[in-house]
Structure 1
Amino acid sequence: MATRSLFHSLRCRLTNGVVGGNFTRNAESSRFSKSYSADAAIGSSLVEQSLESEEKDDLRSRIFRLRLPKRSVTTVLEKWVGEGNQITVNELRDISRELKKTRRYKHALEVTEWMVQHEESKISDTDYASRIDLISKVFGIDAAERYFEGLNQASKTTETYTSLLHAYAASKQTERAEALFRRIIESDSLTFGAITYNEMMTLYMSVGEVEKVHEVIEVLKRKKVSPDIFTYNLWLSSCAAAFNIDELTKILEEMRHDASFSEGWGRYIDLTSIYISSSRVANAESSSPVVEAEKSISQREWITYDFLMILHTGLGNKDMIDQIWKSLRNTNQKLSSRSYICVLSSYVMLGHLREAGEVIDQWKESKTTEFDASACSRILNAFRAVGLEDKASDFHLLLVQKKCILEMI
């Protein structure tokens, strides 16, 4: 069996069992580490808030002095009004937004509840959408669904539909999401943008059903919805998972002619096209890793680089994998489990076990992404399933040496 064919089969298996399942921010195995890193990041901010609260006696300070979820924001709001103070909707929105950022979801929800009860005439579609998101976090998907269905028809808007769809996607409720998405695309009275379609594609990537991403793209095109950079991100990744190089090239050409993309993205597209067609850059001036093309772009806007590793593995370009991996590690963005799995399988596929061992060590030492031994076992099983017994044996020995698995599995 040819290397490319084997790698194609391997990537499909890994996508369904490993890569796809870890694509998004809601991977179960990394929730604790996400919580830990986020808490650390906001720690100094909370200290400042605490000190500030001791000095001030405004509404925000009183609410943020509540330390335990059991304590009621509603009581604070009622007392504030009882003392003759005024509360504006914008002030409540800002407080709720800050509480949500620090994951104080129950208190944020109580603030929005007060808004609905006392300022209903001023409540916006975005406010209702925020409540759906908060309800799903505090009381679960069923409660969020009941709240949405209980809204009057005028409040069932693009924002609220998309918020519920996001809740389904985050909890991997595929059947519910698909049913809601059908309602969305059949709607004649509402107009939905790319973000709604992105939610559906994110769900399919997260559960390993990458072939359905193209179906969503077809609906998006039929509805004449303009894709955004995250749409292209998901679309490219789904094609890469299937090793569909022809489709990748077509997508890049479409991006090139999309008027909404900046000159910086043009440079990215040029570099990526060269990588795909010839596996090398044309001249020294363009030889920096593609990851560095736009360092200022946020995590949400990133085009994922797993497909570049896949392409270079199929071409046997170990040096390019080294460059991409080095650049990814040197950015200030958090590496996902998917990134570790992708580079690890690439190195093993090319027979570079020393580098694969280094990746395992880096992953185990990572403070942001918890090491997943079961993912390594699935990689091992995927090698065996496509007939790469030598690769599987080498990888098995490496995992034993790194104390990732037992001797016999």
Structure 2
Amino acid sequence: MASRALIKIFNHSKTSLTGIRIILARTYWSTENPVTRDDLYFRINAVTDPHCSVTPVLQKWIEGRSHVKESELRRIIRSLRSRRRYSHALEVSQWMSSNGSRFSSGDSAVQLDLIGRVHGLISAKSFFYSLKEEDKSVQTYSALLNCYVQEGLVDEALSLVKKMKEMGFLTSPLPYNDIMCLYTKTGQHEKVPDVLSEMKRNGVSPDIFSYRVCMNSYGARADYNSMGKVLEEMNSRRDIKRDWLTYSVVANYYIKGGLKEMGIYYLKECEKLCKTAEGFNFLISSYATLGIKDEMERLWALQKVKCKKHVNRDYMTGLSSLVKLGELEEAESLLEEWELSCTTFDFRVPNALLIGYCQRGLVEKAEAKLQDIIKRRKTANPSSWSIIATGYAYNNNMEKAFECFNEALAVQAENRDWKPKESLISSILSWLGENGEIEDAEAFVNSLKSKVPINREMYHALLKAYVRNGREVEGLLESMKNDKIDEDEETMKIISLQK
């Protein structure tokens, strides 16, 4: 089964809602058919809460059955990993290895990768070193290397690569690509081309990903001439099939560099190879960045024809692009179109318009739109309320920002992965310390504890509120001490204001 570990080299870029992703395909198993509709898969898939175990589902499934096919378990693991349900995928993998299934080196590599994602590097290393030497294959070494890359550990990764070289494991582009990704991740772009050169010296042919990462390294340094030469070398290789993603890297850097004509040229080259919705979303967002509305609209229509329909992700791109162009009325119409056609309501779609309103100072309109959605959809998402709170904070209406952020905290169960912005939290804590009631400050800090570890800033807000209202602070100082937060100069300054 082909398993993918996605290494995101770029964060969301300014030219695209989804950003430009460099994707490294890591094959641990042989390719099989995709997951078919069977009871076990759908029973496991129904357990959507990551905090709930799927082991009881597996145990119940084999009651009365002699076994479950290993190929079926591998398909389930692959599907769960592709949807980032790593904890459940790890459970299935560990159940598979402890219940008499044949466990290949590929299976071990996948389990190592999952352990790293769920429990961290130390646990992944412990698992690797617990394997018998004969079970440590190029696949398991590569999986451990990928863990080092994700943690940005250069020395450890290079040491492991050296050992892999001694064992004769550097026969494919994969480990070289990992090191290039690591240098990219740690901002050492100048070292990437040397890795590509070493790969070629050692008789290993670069793949399309190798060239893409190298082009990115030159683009990040605005070395357009070298970036073009790498592209030219890649195009001279008949065994490499060109793809839209590689051209998107080149186009993106020309656009970021303000070289509009070259950017458009490579967007056209990108379009020639574009067959997926993700590719069209990149093009649509890029033309919006360039302010070319006609091309954006043409590609939106073409995407619908080529990809049969627009899904939530596509509408997010469309809305963000219209907002970028300042076309709020058209964005409103597109949102209405989405609401009529969507089968799964995703708050990230209307959030694109809410952000647009707030960026233009129309915070009250954004809140009214959200309230309207809530009336029809019943439960909001914390990220939506956070957007409104940020808008009010930016316009110095901290009372409303506080009110809306409390709404976000109240519905945080709707999105457990929601992470409130530190800057917004700081603004509200500062305001509460200077202006808020003690009860409000205490309630806010208590609510925050479920999302953010208790810190000095929270205590300072409480101290300011206590001092301002004539309340004794000895209990708070004792709590600070218990939470291992030392008093600093700012703490003493606040306390000195006591009457």
TM range (shorter): 0.5 to 0.7
Structure 2 regions of 5+ residues with no counterpart? Answer: 1-6, 19-35, 304-311, 315-322, 332-349, 357-393, 397-422, 428-499
Give 1:145 deviation, angstroms: 1.4
Of the two structures, which has the highest relative contact order with CA contacts closer than 8 Å and spacing of 6 or more? 1
> Residue 289 of structure 1 aligns to a residue in which SS?
helix
> Residue 84 of structure 1 aligns to a residue in which SS?
coil
Aligned with 1:294 (options 249, 273, 279): 273
1:201-220 aligned at under 5 Å gives the runs 201-220=180-199
> Residue 204 of structure 1 aligns to a residue in which SS?
helix
Aligned with 2:172 (options 179, 193, 200): 193
Of all paired residues, the percent bearing the same amino acid is 28
Say yes or no: does 1:135 pair with 2:115. yes
Tell me, yes or no, if the aligned pair for 2:235 and 2:242 is still in contact at 8 Å.
no
1:3-402 aligned at under 5 Å gives the runs 24=8, 27=11, 58-120=39-101, 122-188=102-168, 190-262=169-241, 289-296=268-275, 367=352
Give 1:72 deviation, angstroms: 3.3
> Residue 111 of structure 2 aligns to a residue in which SS?
helix
- Find the aligned partners of 2:13 and 2:139 in 1 and give their Cα distance: 30
Q: Give the total of aligned pairs.
A: 288
- Find the aligned partners of 1:170 and 1:325 in 2 and give their Cα distance: 40
Give 1:161 deviation, angstroms: 1.8
- Find the aligned partners of 2:51 and 2:267 in 1 and give their Cα distance: 53
* 1:78–1:198 Cα change, 3 Å: same
Give 1:287 deviation, angstroms: 9.3
Tell me, yes or no, if the aligned pair for 2:243 and 2:274 is still in contact at 8 Å.
no
Q: For 1:224-255, what per-residue CA distance to the aligned partner results, in whole angstroms no more than 9, with x for missing partners?
A: 21111121111112122333344334323322
> Residue 199 of structure 1 aligns to a residue in which SS?
helix
Q: For 1:163-194, what per-residue CA distance to the aligned partner results, in whole angstroms no more than 9, with x for missing partners?
A: 22222222323332222222233332x24422
Q: For 1:57-85, what per-residue CA distance to the aligned partner results, in whole angstroms no more than 9, with x for missing partners?
A: x3223323434444433333233323235
Tell me, yes or no, if the aligned pair for 1:168 and 1:177 is still in contact at 8 Å.
yes
Give 1:208 deviation, angstroms: 1.1
Tell me, yes or no, if the aligned pair for 1:69 and 1:104 is still in contact at 8 Å.
yes
* 1:158–1:81 Cα change, 3 Å: same
Kindly report the root-mean-square deviation, in angstroms, between the aligned alpha carbons of the 2 structures: 5.2
Q: Which amino acid aligns with 2:230?
A: I
Tell me, yes or no, if the aligned pair for 2:81 and 2:89 is still in contact at 8 Å.
yes
Tell me, yes or no, if the aligned pair for 2:173 and 2:207 is still in contact at 8 Å.
yes
Q: For 1:252-280, what per-residue CA distance to the aligned partner results, in whole angstroms no more than 9, with x for missing partners?
A: 33223212134778x979x98xx99x996
- Find the aligned partners of 1:144 and 1:325 in 2 and give their Cα distance: 50
* 1:279–1:207 Cα change, 3 Å: same
Quote the residue 1:12 is aligned against.
none
* 1:358–1:193 Cα change, 3 Å: farther
Tell me, yes or no, if the aligned pair for 2:215 and 2:230 is still in contact at 8 Å.
yes
- Find the aligned partners of 1:104 and 1:196 in 2 and give their Cα distance: 25
* 1:268–1:213 Cα change, 3 Å: closer
Quote the residue 1:380 is aligned against.
none
Q: Which amino acid aligns with 1:111?
A: V
Q: For 1:84-114, what per-residue CA distance to the aligned partner results, in whole angstroms no more than 9, with x for missing partners?
A: 3530100111112222233332221111112
Give 1:294 deviation, angstroms: 1.4
Structure 1 regions of 5+ residues with no counterpart? Answer: 1-22, 35-51, 310-317, 336-354, 372-400
Tell me, yes or no, if the aligned pair for 2:90 and 2:111 is still in contact at 8 Å.
yes
Give 1:334 deviation, angstroms: 8.2
> Residue 62 of structure 2 aligns to a residue in which SS?
helix
Larger Rg over CA atoms = 2
* 1:98–1:198 Cα change, 3 Å: same
- Find the aligned partners of 2:90 and 2:266 in 1 and give their Cα distance: 50
* 1:297–1:234 Cα change, 3 Å: farther
> Residue 152 of structure 2 aligns to a residue in which SS?
coil
> Residue 8 of structure 2 aligns to a residue in which SS?
coil
* 1:117–1:28 Cα change, 3 Å: farther
- Find the aligned partners of 1:212 and 1:328 in 2 and give their Cα distance: 40
